[in-house]
Structure formats: C-alpha cells, structure tokens
Structure 1
Amino acid sequence: MNRVLKNRYEVHSVLGRGGMGCVYKVADRHQRGAIRAAKELQAGGIPDERKAESLVQFQTEARILARLTHPNLPKVYDYFSLAGKHYIIMEYVKGRTLEQILNARQGKPIEERVVLSWALQISRTMHFLSVQKPLPIVFRDLKPSNIMIDRSGRVKLIDFGIARFFKEDKSEDTYVYGTPGYAAPEQYGTGQTDVRSDIFSLGATMHHCLTGKNPSDNPLDFDDPHKLNRRISRAAAVIVMRALAQDREKRFRSALEMKQAVQRALFESAGKPKGGGQVIEARAGKPITLPPFRKTCWVSVPVTALGCSGQTGVLSTDDLWIQPRPRAFGPDAARLLFRVESGMLKAGRDYRPNITITTDGGIFKPVLLIRKSWPWVVAQAAALIGLVAYGMHVAGRW
C-alpha cells in the first residue's frame, strides 16, 4: 500500500474496516519486519459531537492494553498520533473471530467441550482484569466479534474500545455502551457496569455457541440451552443460565467463581474426575535407559502428552483442559522436567516413567513414578521436579 507510519511501520494490507477507522497489517522496520496490527482512529469520519468521546475511548484502550500482560490479551507495542489520526500498534493475532466461526456454521451449535475450553480462557481473563490495581477493568463489550481464536484454540480478547476502570463510588457509567443481545440489562440504563456485566455477556456468547441461536435477534430473551440442544450437559446449561440472570445479584459473584464452575463442567465433559486433590491424568512416558555409571536421570515430558495445552508461555492448572484436543508441538513449547536421583536405578536397565497429575483446584502437583520394565516399583520422585516453560511470565496463578 506504500504507506509508512512514523517512519517505522510499513502498511501491508487492511485487516478490517469500521465506522471510525481501520486495522492494518504492518511490518515493524525496527524489529526486522516483525508483523503487527495497527489500529487507526480516523477523526474525520466521526460526527463532531462524538469526536472527543471517541478519542477518550481510543486513548483508554491504549492505556489499558499497554499496562497488561496476559496470554489471552494482545500486546501493545506503541501508540501515537499523526496528521489528525491516532494509532495503536499491537500484536498481530492469526486466526478467526468467533463471529466468523459462528457465521460459517450457519446456525449449527459448536461442540460443548470446545465452547467450555474457550469460556475457561475468557473467564480466567475476566478474573485477571477484575483484580487489577489500583482499579479493576470492565470489558463491557464481550461478544463474538471481539473474541479472536487462533489455530491452537488460544483465545485473545480484542477491541478494548469501550472498556473502563471500575470505581466503586460511581453510581453510573460516563458513557452508556453495549451490543444488543450480548449487553447486560444494566448496560441499557444508567447504572454502573461491573464484572457481573461481563459475566452476562460471556453467558450470552456461550448460549449462542451452544445453541446456534443469535441473541441479537431477540435481546434479553434466553431459553434454557438444554431445551434447544439436548447434547448440552446439564452442568453447562446451569452455568449459562446463571450467568444470564436478569438480576446481577443472582449471577456468579465473580469471574473466578464462574471460571471454577466452567472448569468443573469441562472436567465432566471430558470424562475426567474433578479437582479437589483427585487424580486428573496419568500417562506413561517414553521408556528411558539409565546410562552406565550415572545415578542421576532427567526425564523430559511434553505437557501435551499429559493432556495440557501445547502453547508456549504460562502453564497453570487452567491450561490442563484449555485444549480439548491437544496437538503435538515443537521443541520450544513447555515441558515438564523431572530429576531422579537413586542408587536403586541400575545402569543399562530399561525403566518406564509413569506421570500422575493431581490438583486441589489451584496447585499443580505432578508426581513421577519410575518402574522397571517388569511390574515392581524401583524409585519414586515426587518433590524433585522442575517446571520448564520457555517464555514463561508471571501472569498465571499457581
């Protein structure tokens, strides 16, 4: 397109276009051509009475995203103004929006386990936003078009254009916004939105995915999803209807409470026991041979081999079932690394590591059991474990 922004960002193509501007695919010349997304606000296309308001929204989005680091949020690298236009340079996310996925299915429901895996990621992100200091963040416009999903199933929440900081002493929002069908009842009036408003929007989005019925056709009127799709579990239907309660006092009290309910339903849907200290996975690893004259053995196991997500970055108990169908992945992905020290392991013998994972709902407890090729126990290493997650950052909750 022969445009360069700030003498740095070379515009390649248009990713999307809206009433207030465009999103471009750009290459960052200062980062060896790294691909980014450039969100542009064009003040010329906005009515005069809304220009100041739109600029405030745009600046708020840049400020919010620039201070946040989370695997389900796009990174912001830069923001600036040029010739009456305003730009945010952010992470380029490959994939499709949930809206595109739903449109392609033409009213057909999406498999429950897949929907629950997305909902788990979204509710975890909502919890992350709600515990920000000094002020919690309310997304306010959670809907399929603002949810990006990449090939691996990783969710990214995009478009923080109308997000806001929650202030307890305010009686109402400065601006009233929301998308009919997904917006909570309080967003149609003058009350203040909080995380329970986002919980309603997530419930509406889950309802749409599980039933194929677009809530925009008849806002605030939701039938029990189990009646519309008998393949839905009762647990999933209960979660959706509680999130969609007209009275927000009857919804989940927090995003964390909803996340925990979704996680339990996902365990049930996957046919695995729930948390609470119970075993949720046990897999035999690749056979190992202890080299001669060595009494220390390292066992490296890809987390996907244990039912965990195969993504680089943060590993937490949530990630165990983020991927309903784990895929193989490259050498740079997260791995569990066990160190076994025992004189009972004889040189040159074949041993089979057996990995067991337990969780109490918040702590990830892997145990490695070493057995000989014939069935008796040789050594056990429970505490001698190191977790290697390349690119890890402290955004997850252990």
Structure 2
Amino acid sequence: MPLSRGDEIKGRYKIIDILGKGGMGSVYLAEDWLHKEKCAIKEMLDNFSSDEERKDAIKRFQNEAQILVNIKHKNIPRIIDYFVENNCYYLVMKYIEGKNLQEIIMERKDGKFTEGEVIDLGVKLCDVLSYLHEQKPDPIVFRDIKPANIMFENNGNIMLIDFGIAKILQPRKAGTITGTPGFASPEQYQGFAYPVSDIYSLGATLYYLLSGRNPENSTPFNFPPLEHCVSDVEKVIMKAISMKIEERFQNVLDMKRALIYSRKTEIKMITEMREKVTPEEKVAPEEKVISEEKLEELFLVSEHVTGQSTEILRSTKSLSKKPLNKYIKLCFYITGLIILFICLYSLVNDYYRDRKIDHLCKEAEEFLKKDDYKNAIDRYEEVKKLKSDSIEAFRGAGKVYLKKGEYEHARLSLERAIDIDKDDEESYLTMAKVFWEQKDIFNAEIWYKKVLVINEDNIEAINGLGDCYFARKDYENAIAKYKKLLERDPQNIPLRMKIGYVYKEKKDYTNAIKWFTLALKVKDTFTEARLEIADIYIIVKKYDNAIEEYKKILKYKPQDVEAMSGIGECYKIQQNYDNAMKWFEETLKLKDDSVRGLRGKADILIVKKKNLKEARKNLDRALKLDPDDSLNYYSLGNYYVVKEDFNKAIENYKKSIKIDPDIACVHYDLGRVKAYLKKYDEAIEEYKKAIDLDPLDPYVHYNLGKAYYNKENIEEAVKEYNIAIKLKKDYIYPYHGLGLIYLKIGKFKEAIGYFKKVLEIEPGSDLAMEAEKGIKFAEFYGSF
C-alpha cells in the first residue's frame, strides 16, 4: 500500500506530500520530527516472487545503501537513513529545494543551452562523477545521469539526485536495463553498469542541452551530428556517446579536460590574484600602536567567551591608531580579568556539572540492574536537564527502554544519541539489539554492520552479525563470523556451541556432533552440549547412543530432569513403554511440572488406550505450562484419534504444524487421518511433507504407496513400496502391498514371491495369514 499524507514510518518520518510515483515505488516529502527538518524519502517496493531473489536484493540494498551513507560531497544529497518496513525499502535523504534540469529545459522556448553553459555544467558534473568513481575499494557508478536527476538549488548549486539503487530491487531478468532508455549506455541494456556508462549518460545529457532533442523520445543510440558549434564541444560529446566502451573517455577527468579546452575562443583558466599591500604607517619607537586587526581579533574572542558584545573594545577600536594611554590599558586589564574569571567559572561549573552527571548515570545503571526502570529513566532525564546534548543520557535511556521492551522509545533515544555523536559504536550496537529483539533481522544486520564500519574488531557486533546470518539461514557466513571470534578466544564454549547449532540446523549432523564434542573438551560436564548430542542421535534414530549420552549427564548430575525425560523419550520411541513410563514418572517425582514428563506419560497412556482421563489431564497441564510447544498439540491430536474425534485430531495437528512446520511425525499422522477419511490427495500431500523432512522413514514411504494404491496410481505405489523395503528389509507391509498389486495386474509369479517374503519374515503374524490367502489366489488363477 502506498503511503498517504499524514502517515508515519519508523515512528519518526511524517509524510507531507507525494513528490512522484513510479512502477518501483514513490518519492515522498516528509518531516523528520527528530531533527525538525524536511527530508525526501524514496520508497522501493518488494517485487520479488522468489525468496532467493529477495535475499540477494536485500543484501545488495544493504551494501549499496551503506556506501551512499558514507558519501560526503556538496553536490550529492546527504543520505540520512535507510530501513525496511512493511515489505518496502526506504532511503531517507536531504530534501533539495529548487528545480531539476528537465524543468529548466521545458521553460526555455527552444529547450536549448549555449555552448558555454553546456561546458560549464559538464565540467561541474565531471567533478561530481570523479568523486564517485574514485571511491575505494570499488568505484560508485551513478547509473542514471539525465536532466531529471540534476537539481539546481535556489542558490545555484547543482545536485545529483536519485542514485540508481532502486534498480537492484527489481527481479533480475535477462536484458533488464539499469538506467533510463535513451540516456543509458549500450551495456546498461544488458544489465551492466561501469564508470564509462556514466560518461555515456553525461554525453547524452549534454547532447540534449545543445540540440534540444530528447534522447528518451528518440530511437536509442541515435545522435545526429550537431551543427553550428563554435567550439569543439561537439567532438567531446560525440566521443562520450560512442557505442564502443573503448572509444569513449576512459575516465571523467579526461572528459573534463577535453571540455575545458573545447572552446575555440581564448579561455583564461587561471586568474591572477593580486595582493594589495598598504604601506604601514611609521610609528615612533616610544609610541606603541595596536592594529585594528588585532583589536578586532580580541573583540571577537571576548564576544565568543562572554556571549555578549564588549563595549569597552568597541570604543577602544576607534582609538586603535592612537598611542595607548593609561585609561585604555586599564580597560584592557579589567577586560582580561573578566574574561579570565568567566573562563575559570565556566571550567569549575563544568567540572561539578560533569561530576554530577557521572553520579546520576551510575545511579541509573544500578537502577537498571535492579529492573527499576522508572528511577533509571528519571536519572537520565535529570542528566538531560544539566546537559541537553548528553550522549550518555540518550544512550542510557535507549538501553533502559530496550530492556523494558519499549522498542520505539529505545530507537528514538538512540537516534538522538547517534545524532550527537556519529561515531558512538555503543549506540549503534544497542540499536542493533533493539531490532534483534523485535525479530527484525534485516535492520539488526544493518546496524551491526554500521558498528563494524566504526570498529571492525567489535566482538559484540561480529557475534551479532553471525546471529543475523544464522537467523536468515546464511549458514556459511554465520560460521565464518563465529570462527573469526574463536581465533581470538579458542576456548570459548558458547562460540563452539553456536557453530554446532548452525551445523545442526543445516542437518550436517556429523559436524554438529564434532563441535558439541569440542565444547565438551573444554568442559566435560557442560550439560547443554551432551543434550544436543543426544538430540541429534534421536533425530538420526540412534536411540541407544542417545540414552548413553543422557546417562553420562546423570553420572555428574543425577537429578537432571532433561536427561531423565530424554531417556524416557527414547524408550517410548523404541516402544519399550514400561521402561519409558518408569523414567517419565521419575522425572515427575523430581519436577512435577516437567512438560516433557507430563506429555511423555500421556503419550504412553494414549498408545495403550488406558486411563485416558489421566492422559488428558496431563496434556491439559502441559499445554497450560507451555502453550507454544508444538508437541503438546501433536499429543492432543493423537488423543483425539484414539477417541475417534478426527476433526479435533486434525485441528490439533494443524496447530502443531503452525507452531513448528518442521516435525515429520506430525505431517505423517495428519496424513494417516486424512487417508482414514479417504481424503487421499490431502494424505499424499502430508506424506510428501514428512518425507521432505525425513526421507529415510520407511513407514511414511509405505503409507504414501498405500495412498497411491487407493488412488489407483500403481506406478507410484510400486515405487514407494520398493523404497520402504530398501530402507527396512524386514518390514512386511510393503511386501504384502506389492503382492496385492501384482495379484491385481495378473503377475501371479511376482505376487507369490512377495507374499512368501511376508511368511519368511513374520510367519505367525496376522499379515502372514493374509499372505497365505494371497498365495492361494495367485496359484489358483495362475494355473489357468
């Protein structure tokens, strides 16, 4: 949704007017109420359908916006801020009052400029482009030189506006132009932009000014020769707009020199500066004369210190060329004493004021430690009264509001602190934490990077940036940041753990276990590392290994409820329900509000279909203790399956998936309910999701095959049954399923082979009896 007049964004910028609209967004005139000044805000829309494209564009937007923030030039509007809000990207810049060159062209009758005007403007624009192209480590390419992007301020100063940063927020497609048709160079039509591309666009702009012919309204690259040029400016322009890159000026300084020397008439490039020297008056040795300039200097110093005019000096100024008399000397002595007194008073006053500020700030910090937010804020407000631009007060208040969870107040306080000191890395760091707490990973990353611009070795910023990369699944960069910190502190357990978490999230379980084990090498009794290793063993279905890890924890921490309930969980999955119940009950004896213990005990009662009232009571309590635990809803779904209330079962499975969509067993059991209700398409969809999360589960593949069989998709059914057998060779159900398929399609020999496999694996089972019937049918019909 486009912004309207009166709307506020970032809690700071109020929209006054809409300056322009386009396909990629709008430009707004806004008021920055923090600084009480107008600004221009460029809005760029998120037009991406692919998360990968969006992720790439966000990264490029951050990088390019940060580059623009660091640009300081009189002919380029200052970038004040950049941020993301409601899926839109915003650049905030100084508002330029004046007219753009396109408007000035339209005001002229023939739309033309004189050669002298064109040369002068070209030289000025070359200077601006030279500044951009000489930036390190990489040149900045403007991308979109044209009259509409050249502003003339009311004082006559030119401004280059509207960097082509918006182009990076368009989905990348073959042939996407990175400039304006007519003014864009040939290579820009292919999606590339170089410093020489700016030279081409500048040449096209100067051509427009001389000819009155707008390239945007003409066939691209069509520039007929200019006639009646007195100077050589036409040659300069035609060289700049050469189709081939190598035939253009290779840098803007070469073009600038060519423009300067393009006049046929004599141009005097250097004006002589003549210094007029007035002979000093001769003064008799006995007459001491103070010069007017010295008096003026003294007058200004006095006025600066006292804040008011000094009448004594003003009256003395008229006597400056006369000998000093005693009266004048006395006046100077008195003035000097007054100035000295004022300076001393100011120093003493500042000293005691600063001491009081330090004391108040320390008090505020102590109150913050005690979570006494009101008193902490009150102390910082007192500091502001003593010193209105105290960075300590605004930064400190930002920290209080952050801890209090009042993020908007925190941001405003920190913005004021940064306004006071642009290089205060602590304020930038706290701002990053504000966005992190709001789960605004994009802006948190921006602010951590700003800290690193000031101090590339800031440990908290490197760590925070690693966390941002981890949160947005940029695993390689996250690991790189954590390893960079490990180089400084190789024995740091939390960093080793973080790298382990990243590998676990990547499902690279071998490396995850390696890094959790490295944490244990520093401290063998570090429980969290063993719990993570055990959890990985559960994920990869190595339940005995998981139990072993849990028991290691219990050796040095015998009452660890996480380890005890973990053992219960492993036995439950192995269907060793008696042992599982024993461990869950031991857990609840030590901690009667253990969610895992309550849920685990309920799960066993549900599987055994006994004492369902107690099971429901345990689940209700678990849900009350942790309403955000997806497994609680999963277990409740299983409870309703046993009660044959399938609608409520589906409802709770979906609640579980909404909280955590990455648990395979929830999708699997939801699929089974859908299949039971003969909703095979929906069942197939859930089974596929389960397989995406856990492709090695033979039971899911079998049930998917069965759903395909019921849909009469025999080919897919056979494929899934075979995968199930490959994953678990003693799993009798897919053999039986294949027997039924081959019996149905008349391949009796193959059917008999699969039915016999069932008898071979589990000869006394119910399914074996069904297999025997299948063999008899196959033998009977196969005999014809």
TM-score range, shorter chain: 0.5 to 0.7
SS of alignment partner, residue 16 of structure 1: strand
Q: CA deviation at 1:134?
A: 0.9
User: Of the candidates 23, 30, 38, which is equivalent to residue 26 of structure 1?
Assistant: 30
Summarize the Cα distance change of 1:96–1:134 in structure 2 as closer, same or farther, 3 Å threshold: same
Q: CA deviation at 1:18?
A: 1.4
2:164 and 2:244 map into 1 onto residues whose CA distance is 26
Deviations 1:136-184 (A, max 9, x none): 112222112222222333221112234899xxxxxxx996422221111
1:38-53 equivalences under 5 Å are 38-43=41-46, 46=47, 48=49, 52=54
Q: CA deviation at 1:3?
A: 1.9
1:219 and 1:263 map into 2 onto residues whose CA distance is 28
Confirm or deny: 8 A CA contact 1:148 1:157 kept in the other structure.
yes
1:107 and 1:61 map into 2 onto residues whose CA distance is 39
Residue identity matched to 1:215: P
Confirm or deny: 8 A CA contact 1:72 1:121 kept in the other structure.
no
**Which residue in 2 is equivalent to 1:9?**
13
Confirm or deny: 8 A CA contact 1:107 1:213 kept in the other structure.
no
**Which residue in 2 is equivalent to 1:63?**
66
Deviations 1:215-268 (A, max 9, x none): 12122121222x1xx2x43221121111112222121121111122223447x7
Confirm or deny: 8 A CA contact 2:68 2:79 kept in the other structure.
yes
1:61-210 equivalences under 5 Å are 61-105=64-108, 107-162=110-165, 176-189=177-190, 192-210=192-210
Which region of structure 1 is more displaced relative to structure 2, 80-89 or 195-204?
80-89
Residue identity matched to 2:249: F
**Which residue in 2 is equivalent to 1:235?**
232
Q: CA deviation at 1:118?
A: 2.0
Confirm or deny: 8 A CA contact 2:44 2:166 kept in the other structure.
no
Pair 1:280-2:275 in alignment: no
Summarize the Cα distance change of 1:88–1:257 in structure 2 as closer, same or farther, 3 Å threshold: same
Confirm or deny: 8 A CA contact 2:175 2:190 kept in the other structure.
no
2:22 and 2:203 map into 1 onto residues whose CA distance is 26
Larger radius of gyration: 2
Confirm or deny: 8 A CA contact 2:176 2:190 kept in the other structure.
no
SS of alignment partner, residue 80 of structure 1: strand
Q: CA deviation at 1:69?
A: 0.8
Confirm or deny: 8 A CA contact 1:141 1:163 kept in the other structure.
no
1:251-330 equivalences under 5 Å are 251-265=248-262, 272-274=267-269, 279-281=270-272, 293-294=289-290
Which of the pair is proportionally richer in helix? 2
Deviations 1:100-120 (A, max 9, x none): 222333543112222222212
User: Of the candidates 218, 227, 245, which is equivalent to residue 242 of structure 2?
Assistant: 245
Residue identity matched to 1:204: A
1:49 and 1:104 map into 2 onto residues whose CA distance is 45
1:56 and 1:238 map into 2 onto residues whose CA distance is 41
Confirm or deny: 8 A CA contact 1:23 1:37 kept in the other structure.
yes
Deviations 1:347-367 (A, max 9, x none): 79xxxxxxxxxxxxxxxxxxx
- Percent identity, please: 33
SS of alignment partner, residue 262 of structure 1: helix
Q: CA deviation at 1:185?
A: 1.9
Summarize the Cα distance change of 1:13–1:296 in structure 2 as closer, same or farther, 3 Å threshold: same
Summarize the Cα distance change of 1:283–1:235 in structure 2 as closer, same or farther, 3 Å threshold: farther
Confirm or deny: 8 A CA contact 2:115 2:210 kept in the other structure.
yes
Confirm or deny: 8 A CA contact 2:231 2:262 kept in the other structure.
no
TM-score (norm 2): 0.33
TM-score (norm 1): 0.61
SS of alignment partner, residue 34 of structure 2: helix
1:119 and 1:233 map into 2 onto residues whose CA distance is 17
SS of alignment partner, residue 75 of structure 2: coil
1:164 and 1:5 map into 2 onto residues whose CA distance is 23
1:163 and 1:288 map into 2 onto residues whose CA distance is 59
2:199 and 2:230 map into 1 onto residues whose CA distance is 20
Confirm or deny: 8 A CA contact 2:164 2:178 kept in the other structure.
no
Q: CA deviation at 1:64?
A: 2.9
Confirm or deny: 8 A CA contact 1:80 1:86 kept in the other structure.
yes
Residue identity matched to 1:205: T
1:54 and 1:156 map into 2 onto residues whose CA distance is 27
Summarize the Cα distance change of 1:282–1:163 in structure 2 as closer, same or farther, 3 Å threshold: farther
Summarize the Cα distance change of 1:164–1:13 in structure 2 as closer, same or farther, 3 Å threshold: closer
SS of alignment partner, residue 11 of structure 2: coil
2:28 and 2:41 map into 1 onto residues whose CA distance is 5
Structure 2: segments with no counterpart, 5+ residues = 169-173, 284-288, 295-320, 323-784
Q: CA deviation at 1:59?
A: 4.1
2:64 and 2:109 map into 1 onto residues whose CA distance is 32
Confirm or deny: 8 A CA contact 1:137 1:163 kept in the other structure.
no
Q: CA deviation at 1:71?
A: 1.1
Summarize the Cα distance change of 1:175–1:220 in structure 2 as closer, same or farther, 3 Å threshold: closer
Confirm or deny: 8 A CA contact 1:199 1:252 kept in the other structure.
yes
Confirm or deny: 8 A CA contact 1:203 1:240 kept in the other structure.
yes
Residue identity matched to 2:188: Q
Summarize the Cα distance change of 1:289–1:2 in structure 2 as closer, same or farther, 3 Å threshold: farther
Structure 1: segments with no counterpart, 5+ residues = 166-172, 299-346, 349-398
Summarize the Cα distance change of 1:113–1:289 in structure 2 as closer, same or farther, 3 Å threshold: farther
SS of alignment partner, residue 138 of structure 1: coil
1:366-381 equivalences under 5 Å are none
Summarize the Cα distance change of 1:49–1:160 in structure 2 as closer, same or farther, 3 Å threshold: farther
2:6 and 2:92 map into 1 onto residues whose CA distance is 18
Summarize the Cα distance change of 1:87–1:187 in structure 2 as closer, same or farther, 3 Å threshold: closer
Residue identity matched to 2:180: T
1:247 and 1:177 map into 2 onto residues whose CA distance is 18
Which region of structure 1 is more displaced relative to structure 2, 147-156 or 247-256?
147-156
1:185 and 1:257 map into 2 onto residues whose CA distance is 21
Summarize the Cα distance change of 1:56–1:120 in structure 2 as closer, same or farther, 3 Å threshold: farther
Summarize the Cα distance change of 1:146–1:41 in structure 2 as closer, same or farther, 3 Å threshold: same
SS of alignment partner, residue 115 of structure 1: helix
SS of alignment partner, residue 30 of structure 1: coil
Summarize the Cα distance change of 1:85–1:220 in structure 2 as closer, same or farther, 3 Å threshold: same
Q: CA deviation at 1:284?
A: 8.7
Summarize the Cα distance change of 1:160–1:64 in structure 2 as closer, same or farther, 3 Å threshold: farther
1:151 and 1:213 map into 2 onto residues whose CA distance is 26
**Which residue in 2 is equivalent to 1:372?**
none
1:6 and 1:187 map into 2 onto residues whose CA distance is 34
1:94 and 1:34 map into 2 onto residues whose CA distance is 12
